[in-house]
Each structure stands twice: as structure tokens, then as C-alpha cells.
Amino acid sequence: MLENPIWFGNKLISWYLQNKRDLPWRETKDPYAIWLSEIMLQQTRVAQGLPYFEKFLTQFPTVFDLANASEEQVLKLWQGLGYYSRARNLHATAKHIAFDNKGKFPSTYEGLLKLKGVGDYTASAIASICFKLPTAVVDGNVYRVLSRVFGIATPINSTSGIAQFKALAQKLIDPSCPGTFNQAIMEFGARFCVPSNPDCSTCIFSDVCIANKQKQVPYLPVKVKKAVVKNEFYNYLVCLFKDRKTLMEQRTDRGIWQNLYQFPLIESKKQLQVSTLKKDQEFIRFSEQINIQSISKFNDRVIVHKLSHKHLYTTFWILEIDALYEGGVPFSEIHLLPVPVLIQNFIYSFLPFKN
């Protein structure tokens, strides 16, 4: 029954007609006003975009008024809304429509798609709302509603996911009122099927929603997060006590290498030299507890250890300590401790010199 497009659309539109907000762009089918609203609402909440929509329509009632304004004027009025390339593209497209097209917007999906700043979503929205064409919109709301109701776990920001959700929305759209269908599914996602803690018990789809039945609502839609590779600077303090012992500590914090061992670690914001290490607050606190005789770098050239999400720029510091230490780990025993490869490689290259 979920595969019955008419049933899905009817239920959705019925909900929409009873629950929709009164919004100014719902009072018109003028392509200029609809286009303006759709550009403004890209990645922007209705509440944030609404006052800008009013301001723009007052200052630029027609596409000719917008086209005849200066870019500076347009950007000034856009100020605070963010994503300023939208404003520049808006202005460029207004000039194109006004001066090259006699003020007339394209009336096909393909024609609309050619406009600067108009992608698949916006072209589909204008085509369906203004020209009654059956082009399905897929925005953040649609991803959420469809992934949950149909139980689709394909990442929404993957190439296959984008195609899959577009195809499903296209199959579901009511060709007799595509504009209403598109606005209904978006409104439903924005007002009812919300990202966190939706009230599934009173949902019109509660009995058929796959995510609801399988208790997967909090986990849908799936989105793969881009692995931002961060650069971090690690300084391992390799202590040499007179009795051939050193200091090792266990990583207990959540994160990489949990519960593995390492030499005392100082993280810094950039690469350190002996002089700058000595000024580091964490190093100062460390050195106050022991009598450091000498400081030298083991690796003159920084060792880059690459993880999937971070690059560790690592320096091993050799600290000769003029003392004995009861709690230390004998160098002859450090191979018994679980350590990261980064540490293991160091030990292999360092120990031959000490044995």
C-alpha cells in the first residue's frame, strides 16, 4: 500500500490542507515571487527567510526592479541571510530574465535548471508550483520523511542516495496537483516529521511507517559525515632514568588508542623546538616534578602519522633524567605493553641505541 502513490499523496495532502502555515509565497503563483522565495529558502529556515522575502518584494516588486538595481543594493538587502553567492546569482538571473527574456521565466524544468543559482530542487519547485509540472522536489525535509516512512538507510548525501530518493519522490508525486504535493511533503517534514523527537504516536503514517515500526526513527535519515582531516601536533616525552627505566601512561580518554600505552604526551598547536617546548605550560608542570638534565629531539624531521580523520605530526623528545625512579617501566619491559604503531615504531628504532 505504501507503494500506492495515490494513497501516499492523498494522505499527505489531506494533512497539509489542515495544517499548513499561512506563508506569503503560498498566495501567488507568480514565477518571480516563487523563484525569489525558493532561492532565499535554500538551506534557510522559513522563519529566517520570511522577513527578507517581504523586504525584497517591497523594494523590488518585479523582476525588472531587481534587474535594474545595483549588485551592491542587492547584497545590502541580503545582508545577514548568508550564502551570498545566492544573492549574486539572483541578481544575475534577474538581469537575464528581464533583459534577455522580456521578463518571462522559463516554463520547463530544463529551462529553469539553466538559470544561475537554480539546481534540481529549485527548478522542480518552480516547475511544479507555477506550471503544474510533475517534478518532485527533494530537500532536507523530503529526505527525512521518505527515509523514515519507507525505511531507506541509503546515505542521503551519497550519489546513489540522491538518485534513489529523487526516483521515489518522482514515483509518489500526485500529477494532478504536483505543486501542492511538493509543498505538502516539505511542510510535513518541517512541522511534523521533525529531525529529533517527532510525535510518531499521532502521525498519519504511524501504522505504515517502516522506521516507526522498527524503532529506527532516531537513526534516519542516514548521512555520511565527511571526514575532516585535522592536523594535530604530538610531543612524546621519552624519559631516560639512570636505572634504565622510562615513563609510560595509559590513554584512558575516549578517542583514538583508548587504553593503549604511550610516553607522556603533550599536544601543541604547532611544531615545537627545544626552546618553545620549554615554554609550554604543560611541559613546565611536567618538568617541575623531575630533574631534567638534557632535552633533545629524537627525530629532527617530524613524523607524520596518518589516521583516517587526523594527521599526527609527532616529535619524540629524549629527556635525560638525573635520578632513579621507582614507578618507571624498565626499557626491557616496554615491549610487553600494548602501544600504538606510532609508538611501536619509535621503540624499534630507538631501543637498539640503548641496549
Please give the residue ranges that form the binding site for DNA (CB under 7 A). Answer: 23, 25-26, 37-38, 41-48, 80-85, 89, 115-123, 139-141, 143-144, 158-159, 183, 186-187, 189-190, 195-197, 223, 225-229
In whole angstroms, the minimum distance from the beta carbon of 316 to DNA comes to 29
In whole angstroms, the minimum distance from the beta carbon of 115 to DNA comes to 7
Q: Which of 355, 288, 291 is nearest to 321 (CA)?
A: 291
In whole angstroms, the minimum distance from the beta carbon of 2 to DNA comes to 21
Query: Which ranges of 239-306 does DSSP label H, i.e. alpha helix?
Result: 274-279, 281-287
User: Looking at 3, 27, 38, 110, which residue is catalytic?
Assistant: 38
Strand partners, 313: 233, 304
Give 108 or 296: the residue with its C-beta nearer to DNA: 108
Give 227 or 304: the residue with its C-beta nearer to DNA: 227
Q: Would you give the distance in Å from CA 304 to the centre of its chain?
A: 27
Give 23 or 302: the residue with its C-beta nearer to DNA: 23
For strands 329-330 and 245-246, give the pairing: antiparallel
Give 25 or 317: the residue with its C-beta nearer to DNA: 25
* Cis preceding-peptide flag for 221 (omega within 30 of 0): yes
Phi-psi region of 80 (alpha: psi -120 to 50; beta: other; left: phi over 0): left
In whole angstroms, the minimum distance from the beta carbon of 58 to DNA comes to 19
Give 215 or 301: the residue with its C-beta nearer to DNA: 215
Give 107 or 158: the residue with its C-beta nearer to DNA: 158
Task: Assess whether 38 carries a catalytic annotation.
Answer: yes
CA–CA separation, 191 vs 209, rounded Å? 17
Strand partners, 89: none
CA–CA separation, 38 vs 46, rounded Å? 10
CA–CA separation, 181 vs 337, rounded Å? 62
Per-residue burial over 266-284, b if 16 or more Cβ lie within 10 Å, else e, is bebeeebeeeebeebeebe
Q: With the C-alpha atoms ordered 163, 167, 169, 173, is the resulting torsion angle positive or negative?
A: positive
Strand partners, 267: 234
Per the listing, cell 542516495 goes with 161
In whole angstroms, the minimum distance from the beta carbon of 210 to DNA comes to 18
In whole angstroms, the minimum distance from the beta carbon of 47 to DNA comes to 6
Just list the catalytic residues.
38
